[in-house]
Amino acid sequence: MTGCVCEGPGYCQRHGVQKNDGWWRLCRGKPKYFAAWEAHRGPGQTQEGQVAFIRKPPGPGTLLCKMLGCGVFHHQAKLNEWGPDGCEQHLEQIVEWIHEPSKNVSISDEAARRLIGLAISKARANLER
């Protein structure tokens, strides 16, 4: 046990870090990790003047692109920008984009909607971690 007082994963005020479940468990149960965060050198923390590299979870555009095959779907960045909620709002537009003549994708509208829905669900789950 350590001096961690957080009740669960989330933003840790004490250490100034967004802690996922794994980091929260390390902080709560591993004195070496807790000590590193206390010394401002733990995971997710930076020394003054350094820039933190934070890997974003893959968005719906990235996930859909993987499902369709790399290089096939050129609206990946827009879908990632919209996020899961925006993609749900623009579902029919995304279906049209999948069927653009240059894509050579031959799937039904229903199959396209299912793939988009799956990409949205996975992206949403990634954000909740």
* 29 and 49 within one domain: yes
Quick one: tokens of 86?
């925006």
* 68 and 9 within one domain: no
Contact between 44 and 68 under an 8 Å Cβ cutoff? The reply is no
Q: Is the overall model pTM greater than 0.85, yes or no?
A: no
* 67 and 21 within one domain: no
* 123 and 64 within one domain: yes
* 121 and 64 within one domain: yes
3-state SS, residue 22: helix
* 72 and 27 within one domain: no
Residue 78: give the domain boundaries: 60-128
* 64 and 50 within one domain: no
* 65 and 48 within one domain: no
> What span, in angstroms and rounded, lies between the C-alpha atoms of 85 and 121?
10
Helix, strand, coil percentages in the chain from 3-state DSSP, rounded to 5: 55, 5, 40
- Write out pLDDT tens, residues 4-51: 999 888 888 888 888 998 999 999 999 999 999 898 888 888 765 454
